[in-house]
Amino acid sequence: MKEIETAILDIFIEVCARIYNRRLTVVELKEGDTVYGYKVSIPLSSNEYPLTLACSGTKEEFLNYVRKEIKARSWGAVTYSLGYKSEPDDKQC
């Protein structure tokens, strides 16, 4: 799976001109002993809600699918920030 993880990280550099520095989780989709596809979980803003991409086919077909999805979603332009909600102070009004 390291080979596919490395290829996906390279796709981020190629498509988005960004280095993705969080952990990817790649899993083979199997039926019995036969591998019929792959699935990757990509935590963008938090580990609790990762984006999951899955595709049936060969490694090359899966990587082409991931490349297409990264391009289509414009992940290079996505930014995240942490915000805090503050309650208004009654004395200011």
Structural domains of the chain in order of their starting residue, each with its CATH number = 2-73 (3.30.160)
CB 39 within 8 A of CB 52: yes
Per-residue pLDDT, 22: 86
**Tens of pLDDT along 32-88?**
999 999 999 988 776 677 889 999 999 999 999 999 998 888 766 666 666 776 676
Q: What burial letters (b/e) apply to 11-40, b meaning 16+ CB within 10 Å? A: bbeebbeeebeeebebeeeeeeeeeebbeb
Per-residue pLDDT, 1: 82
Higher pLDDT among residues 50 and 31, named by residue: 31
pTM comes to 0.76
Per-residue pLDDT, 79: 65
Q: Could you give the CA distance from residue 27 to residue 36 in angstroms, rounded to a whole number? A: 11
Mention every residue, 6+ apart, whose C-beta is less than 8 A from residue 50: 25, 41, 42, 43, 44
CB 29 within 8 A of CB 55: no
